[in-house]
Amino acid sequence: MATTRDARGNLCLGGVRLQTLADDPAIGTPTYVYDLSAIALEARELRESFEGAPHLVAFAVKANSAGPVVRVLAREGCGADVVSGSELALALACGISPDHVVYSGVAKTDDELDRAIFAGPRGIGAVQVESVEEIPRVDARAASAGRVARVAVRVNPGVDLAELGTHAYIATGHDEAKFGVALDDMSLALSALRAARHTELVGLGMHVGSQLTSITPYVDASRTLFRLTAEVRAEQGKRLAFVDTGGGFGIDYGEGACVRPGDFVRAVRALQRAAGLDDLALHVDPGRSLVAANGVLLARVVQSKVSRFQKGAAPLQWLLIDAGMNDLLRPALYRARHRVVPLGPDAGPPSNWRVVGPVCESSDDFGIHMLPDSPPAAIAILDAGAYGYTMASSYNGRALPAEVFIEGGRVVDRRARGSVESWILERTSGDSRATKRS
């Protein structure tokens, strides 16, 4: 939570009063607001935890692909972890060097592989292959481009799902996950790489899951990865450049303080040294921990509603807001809980409000929150800077939310919300060439 209250009790982010943004007719609600200065600080602190050792912090663009966010992280010396051809193109357009891009994904299309292989003078830093079968595909694309593709293998270290302690939908490094090459398949992957003359193995990596609040599963999986990396080096005589322990550093959504990203790094660096791999650069690929707490979603209260039950049950109080699961999907998809707070000063005694959006789905529900009994006019949903806008949709014909970017205590950039007219246009005007053909 990066928000503060000013002397009058108004909620602020990055020194800007959020009510002012919500009241501005050019901005309004629903609107995501991000503090770029705080995002830069978060990246700097993480980079400092490497204490000058060779490293790359590759920002997982899927968490927040807004240009101003990616550009600020590029300025801080971060690279990018991308999962589509579009994210790859965006990272490059935002000034990230192709050498600092890693590309993960279980089903990269030929066109996407070509984008990665053709980027810059040598292709991107690493195409992270996620199956044995992907290796000959990358090799064939590189051969037809007349290039050698730098490749890393995403290893699935087979961690116990329960030990990860995160929602099953965002746990990736267990045996039944679709991601990565299983440990037992590594020898097959290495033979496939030997046969692939247009690839060069530059690293081994993993990503075990997201929103990890304990260091233990990350460290255990890193130990496995480092052991494997040392073996590949010793037995295969491979000259590797890096080892990548992935992202997944959790944040505090209100349940209590959790481990800082730098603590994950310090713990695995100690293991890396112990495994004799200190000469390799250490890569990490955080998304959420760099941006989540530095973004909020502003919403207006449309109206309240009370369901009064006849049979003695307590009445239910609903707060109906203008942001829904189409703007912030996390509660509906993972039952994630985000704090909801009034934009103005606390007024009057609190009461339990069930905060819900306008979408026609019961899961469009942000949970029960203590808010003033006389409902606030506008609220902020906290810790919404990661996997918020990037997972938004126009379901129910609802416009994509606006975005506002704060830096150095003032608004430096913004993107307008879609409109009814732009949605109608998008849904009714077909591609003119296709229309003519039919």
Task: Supply angle C-alpha 151, 156, 158, rounded to 5.
Answer: 165
**Cβ–Cβ < 8 Å for 248, 219:** no
Q: How far is the CB of 248 from ligand LLP (least distance, A)?
A: 4
Q: In DSSP terms, which residues pair with 414 in a beta bridge? A: 404
The residue among 286 and 375 lying less far from ligand LLP, judged by its C-beta, is 286
The residue among 79 and 287 lying less far from ligand LLP, judged by its C-beta, is 287
Is 288 near ligand LLP (CB under 6 A)?
yes
Is 81 near ligand LLP (CB under 6 A)?
yes
Is 134 near ligand LLP (CB under 6 A)?
no
Site for ligand LLP in 142-201 (CB under 6 A): 170
Using DSSP, state whether 40 is helix, strand or coil.
helix
Q: In angstroms, rounded to a whole number, what is the distance separating the alpha carbons of residues 263 and 14?
A: 25
Q: Can you tell me which of 30, 286, 342, 375 binds ligand LLP, judged by CB under 6 A?
A: 286
Q: In angstroms, rounded to a whole number, what is the distance separating the alpha carbons of residues 275 and 270?
A: 9
Q: Which stretch binds ligand LLP (CB under 6 A): 89-97, 134-142, 284-292, 347-355?
A: 284-292
258 classed as catalytic: no
Is 392 near ligand LLP (CB under 6 A)?
no
Contacts of 418 (CB under 8 A, 6+ apart): 394, 399, 400
The residue among 177 and 378 lying less far from ligand LLP, judged by its C-beta, is 177
Neighbours of 238 (CB within 10 A): 17
Query: CA separation (Å) from 161 to 139, 170, 259, 372?
Result: 33, 10, 20, 40
The residue among 251 and 371 lying less far from ligand LLP, judged by its C-beta, is 251
Q: How far is the CB of 205 from ligand LLP (least distance, A)?
A: 8
Is 211 near ligand LLP (CB under 6 A)?
yes
**Cβ–Cβ < 8 Å for 366, 268:** no
**Cβ–Cβ < 8 Å for 202, 151:** yes
Report CA torsion sign: 334, 259, 209, 159.
Answer: negative
Q: Can you tell me which of 19, 49, 65, 104 binds ligand LLP, judged by CB under 6 A?
A: 104
The residue among 189 and 208 lying less far from ligand LLP, judged by its C-beta, is 208
Hey, what amino acid is at 163? E
Q: How far is the CB of 213 from ligand LLP (least distance, A)?
A: 11
Peptide bond into 350 cis (omega under 30): no
Is 403 near ligand LLP (CB under 6 A)?
no
Of 117, 280, 100, 269, nearest to 203 (Cα)?
Answer: 280
Q: How far is the CB of 183 from ligand LLP (least distance, A)?
A: 17
Q: In angstroms, rounded to a whole number, what is the distance separating the alpha carbons of residues 248 and 234?
A: 29
Q: Can you tell me which of 14, 79, 217, 246 binds ligand LLP, judged by CB under 6 A?
A: 246
Q: How far is the CB of 336 from ligand LLP (least distance, A)?
A: 6
CA 182 distance to own-chain centroid: 24
Q: Which stretch binds ligand LLP (CB under 6 A): 11-19, 186-194, 240-248, 272-280?
A: 240-248
Q: How far is the CB of 376 from ligand LLP (least distance, A)?
A: 26
Query: CA gyration radius for the chain?
Result: 23
Q: Which stretch binds ligand LLP (CB under 6 A): 34-42, 279-287, 344-352, 362-370?
A: 279-287
Q: How far is the CB of 330 from ligand LLP (least distance, A)?
A: 5
Helix (H) or strand (E) holding 222: helix 216-236
x/- mask, ligand LLP, residues 370-389, rule CB under 6 A, reads: -----------------x--
Q: How far is the CB of 16 from ligand LLP (least distance, A)?
A: 25
Q: In angstroms, rounded to a whole number, what is the distance separating the alpha carbons of residues 173 and 224?
A: 12
Is 285 near ligand LLP (CB under 6 A)?
yes
Is 299 near ligand LLP (CB under 6 A)?
no
Output DSSP code: residue 236: H
Hey, what amino acid is at 72? V
Hey, what amino acid is at 117? I
x/- mask, ligand LLP, residues 27-46, rule CB under 6 A, reads: --------------------
Is 339 near ligand LLP (CB under 6 A)?
no
Is 135 near ligand LLP (CB under 6 A)?
no
Alpha-carbon dihedral angle through residues 101, 107, 111, 114, given to the nearest 10 degrees: 40
Residues forming contacts to ligand LLP in the complex (CB under 6 A) are: 60, 63, 81, 104, 170, 207, 210-211, 246-249, 285-289, 330, 334, 387
Q: Which residues are catalytic?
A: 360
